[in-house]
Amino acid sequence: MKRLVIPAALALLIAACSSTPEGGDQSGAPVESRAGGPSVATVTTGGVDGGRLPAVLTDPKSILSKRSVYFDYDSYEVKAEYKDLVTAHAKFLTENRQFRMLIQGNTDERGSREYNLALGQKRADAIKKMMALLGAREDQLEAVSLGEEKPKNEGQGEAAWAENRRGDMLYSGEF
Amino acid sequence: MSGFAIKLRFLRLLALAAFALLLTPAHGQLTVEITGAGANRIPVAIAEFGGDAASSRIVTSVIRADLERSGLFRMVDSSGVALTEATSPAFGDWKSRGADALAAGSIGASDNGRQEARFRLYDVNKQAALGGSAFVTSKTMLRAAGHRIADIIYEKLTGEPGVFSTRVAYVVRAGAARYELHIADADGQNAQVALISREPIISPSWSPDGGRLAYVSFENKKPVVYVHSLASGKRVVVANFKGSNSAPAWSPDSRRLAVVLSKDGGSQIFLVNADGSGAQRLTTDTAINTEPNFSPDGQHLYFTSDRGGSPQIYRMNIGGGDVQRVSFEGTYNVSPRISPDGKSMAFISRRDGGFRLSVMDLASRQVQVLTDSNKDESPTFSPNGRMVLIATEMGGRGVLSAVSLDGRIKQRLSIPAGDVREPAWGPFNR
């Protein structure tokens, strides 16, 4: 089946649009209605700034610089090979009660976005539960899901999908 | 899946796309490609309207494109004939051109620089007027006038209301860290940007009054449910509890939303007021419960759960009781959406490894798989219930596809070089 050819000028216009400036404003100016119907105002979301973390969390030689737990297909079990990693982070949180951690669960791209969001939540919850058993306090931990929305590897196939079946551990200032 | 008796491609859309250059905002428009059509299309002639010729061309080209796009009509050549609503048509001539129905009209000047669009629709065989109307409009509103005339013609000839004046919302991934929530006319034109974010936006859901969209935004590095008033851009956080907040669905009276919260552990369905107050938990088991969708009478919620070992569709009453399993065939049935008449359910079913749009007749539980694609997602009914809009993938990028309930008519809507997903078809324009 043949595709419609889009006039080159239209394509150029579309390319030009990506330079719209972004800001932290939550309520943009109303946009003029072009061909009838109610007008729609454009809003640009703000960003979140990163902060400074102690070297022990970022030094590549420290186990605490590692932040990802990978899961098998359709599984929410934290595999044995990640127990030392989760234990080290739980110990850090136990010894540094001022720190908070956001655990983000992720899935591969197959299937419904909302169902995948729920699957990612199960992975994040599994890591959080283990952290709590190892001494981190409930108020230091938040488990959330990004579902399939933020793939680490945007490729297709099992190798890419395996990278995306993941839980990431972020500290205050990193989210 | 139904075979397509007829495959159509309308180069006329090229002209429309070129025309859109004059009106387009500084971002991509959806282009529409028709890949299937109904077998018995009604032959209709839209004469050139009288009055200002340039304005007439805009209105009549919108009417013709709308009717053609529906897959239910075949345009009869009307070239060279301008006919106003005030002149009696030469019915014999139109009959010999093959038209069963004929529309004629005019665009005239009105007060304060405004214009008036008038039209009349005729039954050519009976040689009788079927109806007509007049709209006050303006140069910038001529397309909207065309959509409204097409809606009336559609309703007169099919008995169902047309949806050409409605709007669709969808998300465009415009770059690695750029997501845009767009609102466009049902023909993909006149797209406006409601939200720009560096983080994903999913699950837009129209309020039944058409003024607000609920959606999930990840701008705070976690899923949070917002309600966004489109005219003002004002946003209200409806659910930002500890954990994930997702899958908003409006109650038919616009007063409440069903949402999915993980604040108590797991993913559970709650009802909240539209201002975010009064969260009330409905599901209590330990399984995944998500993707709630109200029945049109507001008495039931359909949802996806893995409580039986695989994701399937269930139904409960809005108090959380009387839970019944609805889907049985296969091991992956998700994303239930109930038709406006409450009789059908569109959903996504995994068949032969592909995720495909399917429709269940709720009375008989009969299921029909409507596509043979691999990555269908996020079905949404047109407000007249005749079409289902889905996100799917073509050539590695996201496009939207509108499929008729019998699977015969298919339209693809895509943005050049853009990744389009998460469609939501808005309500009737009241």
Domain ranges in chain B with CATH number 2.120.10.30: 168-425
Closest residue to A43, CB basis, from B235, B247, B267: B235
Closest residue to B28, CB basis, from A14, A48, A118: A14
Residues in chain B with CB shorter than 8 Å from the CB of A3 are: 33
- Residue B200, pLDDT > 90, answer yes
- Give the chain A residue nearest B331 (alpha carbons): A111
The verdict on a CB contact (< 8 Å) between A44 and B235 is no
What average pLDDT does the segment B1-9 reach?
Answer: 31
| Contact yes or no for A43/A26 (Cβ under 8 A) | yes
Residues in chain A with CB shorter than 8 Å from the CB of B28 are: 14, 17
Q: So what's the pLDDT on residue B412?
A: 85
Interface test with B, best of A144, A154, A161, A172 (most B CBs within 10 A): A144
Cα–Cα distance, B20 to B16 (Å, whole number): 6
How many CB atoms lie under 10 A from the CB of residue B127?
13
- Residue A19, pLDDT > 80, answer no
Q: Shortest CA distance to B166 belongs to which of B245, B79, B98, B70? A: B70
Q: So what's the pLDDT on residue B9?
A: 33
Cα angle B316, B322, B327 (rounded to 5 degrees) comes to: 55
Q: Which of A151-155, A160-164, B5-9, B350-354 has the lowest mean pLDDT?
A: B5-9
- Residue B16, pLDDT > 60, answer no
Residues facing residue B179 across a β-bridge: B173, B197
Selected from 1.10.510.10, 3.40.50.720, 1.20.140.10, 2.120.10.30, the CATH number assigned to the domain covering B168-425 reads 2.120.10.30
Domain ranges in chain B with CATH number 3.40.50.10070: 40-158
Identify the CATH homologous superfamily for domain A71-171: OmpA-like domain (3.30.1330.60)
How many CB atoms lie under 10 A from the CB of residue A36?
21
Query: How confident is residue B23, by pLDDT bands cut at 50, 70 and 90?
Result: very low
Query: How confident is residue B37, by pLDDT bands cut at 50, 70 and 90?
Result: low
Q: So what's the pLDDT on residue B95?
A: 95
Query: How confident is residue B39, by pLDDT bands cut at 50, 70 and 90?
Result: low
A91 Cα to chain B: minimum distance (Å): 22
The rounded Cα B308 to chain-centroid distance in angstroms is 32
The verdict on a CB contact (< 8 Å) between B198 and A47 is yes
Closest residue to A27, CB basis, from B26, B190, B233: B233
What is the model's pTM?
Answer: 0.86
- Residue B293, pLDDT > 90, answer yes
Beta strands in B37-191 (DSSP E): 42-46, 50-51, 73-75, 101-109, 115-123, 128-137, 167-175, 178-185
- Report ipTM for this prediction: 0.89
Q: So what's the pLDDT on residue B397?
A: 87
pLDDT digits (tens, 9 = 90+) for A86-128: 999 999 999 999 999 999 999 999 999 999 999 999 999 999 9
Q: So what's the pLDDT on residue B312?
A: 98
- What residues contact residue B410 under an 8 Å CB cut-off, 6+ apart? B4, B34, B35, B36, B401, B402, B403, B404
The verdict on a CB contact (< 8 Å) between A43 and B9 is no
Which one is predicted more confidently, B30 or B380? B380
Q: How many residues does chain A have?
A: 175
The verdict on a CB contact (< 8 Å) between A144 and B145 is no
From the CA atom positions of chain A, what is the Rg in Å?
A: 21
Q: Which of B13-27, B187-201, B298-312 has the lowest mean pLDDT?
A: B13-27
Query: How confident is residue A46, by pLDDT bands cut at 50, 70 and 90?
Result: low
What average pLDDT does the segment B113-134 reach?
Answer: 93
Q: So what's the pLDDT on residue B38?
A: 66
- Residue B303, pLDDT > 80, answer yes
pLDDT digits (tens, 9 = 90+) for A48-94: 444 578 999 999 999 999 999 999 988 899 999 999 999 999 999 99
The verdict on a CB contact (< 8 Å) between A117 and B244 is yes
The CATH fold assigned to B40-158 is Rossmann fold (3.40.50)
Cα–Cα distance, B215 to B246 (Å, whole number): 8
| Contact yes or no for A173/A57 (Cβ under 8 A) | no
